[in-house]
Structures are given as structure tokens and as C-alpha cells.
Structure 1
Amino acid sequence: MNSIRVVLSVCAAYEYRMEQLDADTAFLNSELKDRVYMEVPFGIENARDYQYQLNKAIYGLMQAASAWNKTIHRVFLGNGFKSCGADQCVYVKGSKNGFIYVCLYVDDMIIAAKTSEDIREVKDALKNAFKMKELGPAKFILGMEIDHDMTAETLKIKQTRYIDDVVERFGQENAKPVDNPCAAGLKLSKTQSPGTDAEQNAMRSKPYRSLIGCLLYITTCTRPDIAFMATQLSRFLENPGQQH
């Protein structure tokens, strides 16, 4: 996530364009180096005594994600890209117009470059290797909505859709919004955690851990203003109480 935000910052500072691609059935394109066998699929006649050796990965295979990453990594290297030392899923390549950046998240990727021609060059190279879906200008990745206005020279990120989904998931549609994520004078401690089996059993049905995970993700992406309170609440994951 931090790597994506860094690349977005570069795009905002240097007026780079961004477009998004998605690899179609990515794992099925993965070259499999390990020796893996599978039973013959149902419906194939006269093959009960045989097993198939896989030449490429399939979905559900333990090695599938790793095999895909190695496969597309070789494609990027073969087209002049270098993997960043800080994040191996961020690729960089120089061009006459500056730099070309690719942020890869499994089969979803953002291509950032100064010109449309540089972006097209990367797209063509990837299409020669895989079946790709062009998604147009980058609008949405990892739960973040991207609003990039080249004319106004602004770039905004938000999580309105994700936050609305979280609110609905945890049944808070009718909750009143507040400006301050922490009530004045609020103090949280372990003394507020359940002390009896009955109290603990009552709290086990509460999706506390899931809620805090969602809040921490929102904090990391777009809402640092709730970071302190979300972090404080995360201290009580093992035994949360009603006050928490």
C-alpha cells in the first residue's frame, strides 16, 4: 500500500498519467517449475489409472501465486524493467520522457508514465505475453478510489465505497457521524475487559477483531486522523469489553 501511494505521489508531482490493467486468468499462465501431479478430472473416460503432470499452474494450487509472480517478473525484466529494492512488486524503467512505473498486485497493475506512448509500449509488451484487460485510467485499487484530474493537476484518494461497505457490514447505517474519533476524556484499559466466563462468552459473538482490522486498513490507506484511536482499540483484541 505504501508503495502505491508513493507512485501516486510521483504522478501528482510530475504530472504522470496512470492506466490500469488486469491479467485475465493470471494463474493459468504461470509456468510451473515444480513437479505436481493431479487426478484425472471427472468425465474423462478410460483414464482412471492415470495421473496428469501439470505444466502450468491452476487455481487452488499451493504454488500458483508464487509461480505467477515469477512468470510475470521474468516478462518485466525481459522488457527492460528493474524491480525496486524496497518493494519487488514495483517495477521501474527509464525512457526518453522520464521513468515508467508499474505497481503490481497479483494480477492487477497500475502503469504510470509521462506520456500515453510509454504506457502503450508497456501494454503491448504485456499483451504479447498474456491476455490482458485494459481498464482505462486508474480509478480503483485495493479498496482505494483514485481521482486524478490532469487538467486541474490534482490527485485525490478516498475510500468512500469501502467505508460504506464496512458501515453496512457491521450494522452501523443509522449511527450518527462525529468529527472527533475519540470522546473527550475517554480512557481505555484492560480493567474494562470481561472478567468472567459469562462476560467473555457474551463478547465472543461480537466481530471486534474484524472491525478493528477494517479500521486499521482505512487508517493505513486514507484516514490517518483515526490512527491513534484505532491503534488504542487494537490493544484489546484478545479480550475486548463493552466499553471497547
Structure 2
Amino acid sequence: MGFTPCASEPCVYIKNKQRKYNIIAVYVDDLLLASSNLRDLNDIETKISKEFDILDGGPAKYFLGMEIERDGDVGNIAISQRQYIYDLLMQNGMEECKAVSKPLEVGFQTSCDKDACSKVNRTEYQSLIGALVYLAISTRPDFLHSVSKLAQRNTDPHIEHKTAAKHILRYLKGTAEFKLHYKKTDRSIECFVDADWGEMRASESHTLVVRL
């Protein structure tokens, strides 16, 4: 169909031509279609239906734990994972926990080489960290740094690391309604990062310019 896998995400296929943008996101046997042209969108669905039995779910509202709100008249989209957070709190028995204002306490350190430290179940810890990482990279970049630090202890988690992970859950309790808002614009967005595609360079700064 003329689509090309995205370089940074091989499960996302793109076809951009004459200022018309078409995207297909694939997850196992689920597809999420996006297009800047309604006729193209219908054409893509028709072609896929000729090869596979499909069920049209209509405009996307919920996908892989992400809640999607659309205002098609002005081109705005809001994405959140409110229910995902509530389910995560329930799974960890923290529905009634007291919310905090920061993901981690200032100065929190993950390093610990004391043999006397109390260790926790590694599988349970990894499961919680994995759920938090998925949430952070999907819709909540505000605590990505914190959970990335805790992920460094995946092979040897101590009680203080699990306590810190639960601290993040308490932060989520108070921010469950947070959303990522995308608004239609003709302006460029400039993003400043301290790493390039392949390696970290502490002494250099790179500028990434993304045009929507």
C-alpha cells in the first residue's frame, strides 16, 4: 500500500505525499489508523478489509490503556491514562493512599551495597516498575526520570526502592487526571536534548527541530 516502517518504531507505518499524512500503528492484530484526509482514511480501511476480516471500532477512544479525547473541529487531541492509574493503584492496594506532590524525594539515591538491607521480591518489583515505565513513556513523561532511576535496581531491589516506587504511585494518585494535549499549529516546535540518536555526549548539546 506504499507505507514505510518508521525508523524509530517499526510497528508504525507512514505514507506522506503531497502534504497528506497517513499513519498505521500496529499492535498484534489491532490497528490504529490516522490520516489528514478522510478519503484516504476510508481508502486505507477498504484495502485492508479486502485482505483481512476486520471490525471497525470507529473513532479511537481507548487504545492500549490510553484514553483519547478528540475535538475534530479544531484539531485538538488529549491523551491520558486515568483508568490505567486507578487500576494500578488498586492492584497495589493503594486506592486510599495519601497523594504527594513530587514523584520522588529530592536527593533520592538508588545505590546501596549494604548486605544487611532488606530485599524485596524481584518479580513483583519488576512488574510494578514495568507498569510505571509503560505509563511514563505513553502519556506521563513528568515522572519518567524517577522511574528510570528505580529501574536500575530491577535485578537487586531493596525495601527502600519499593517504597520509592510506591511513592510514585502516591504522586499518581494526585495527578491521575493529567493529560497530554496536542493542538493543531503551523508553527515549529524546538526541542533541546543532550544526546544524539546513538550515544550520550555529556560535553555537547544537540538541537532537534520538529515541524508539525
Normalising by the smaller structure, the TM-score range is 0.5 to 0.7
SS of equivalent to 2:152 = helix
List aligned pairs for 1:110-129, cutoff 5 A: 110-129=32-51
Structure 1 residues 171 and 238, CA gap change in structure 2 (3 angstroms): same
Q: What is aligned with 1:141?
A: 63
After TM superposition, the score normalised by the length of structure 1 is 0.58
Match of 2:12 among 60, 82, 90: 90
Cα root mean square deviation, aligned: 2.4
Q: When you count helix as a share of all residues, which structure comes out higher?
A: 1
Distance (Å, rounded) in 1 between the aligned partners of 2:124 and 2:116: 19
Q: State the 1:174 CA deviation.
A: 1.3
Aligned residues: 161
Q: State the 1:153 CA deviation.
A: 2.7
| Structure 1 stretches of at least 4 aligned residues deviating more than 4 Å after TM superposition | 94-97
Unaligned runs of 5+ in 2: 162-212
List aligned pairs for 1:1-244, cutoff 5 A: 79-94=1-16, 98-191=20-113, 195=116, 199-200=118-119, 203-204=120-121, 207-244=124-161
Distance (Å, rounded) in 1 between the aligned partners of 2:57 and 2:19: 23
Distance (Å, rounded) in 1 between the aligned partners of 2:96 and 2:123: 18
SS of equivalent to 1:240 = coil
Distance (Å, rounded) in 2 between the aligned partners of 1:130 and 1:182: 47
Structure 1 residues 102 and 171, CA gap change in structure 2 (3 angstroms): same
Q: Is the 8 A contact 1:97 1:115 kept in 2?
A: no
Q: State the 1:229 CA deviation.
A: 1.6
Q: State the 1:95 CA deviation.
A: 5.8
Unaligned runs of 5+ in 1: 1-78
Q: State the 1:85 CA deviation.
A: 4.0
Q: State the 1:89 CA deviation.
A: 2.6
Amino acid at match of 2:125: Y
Higher RCO, Cα 8 Å, sep 6+: 1
- Greater C-alpha Rg: 1
Q: What is aligned with 2:179?
A: none
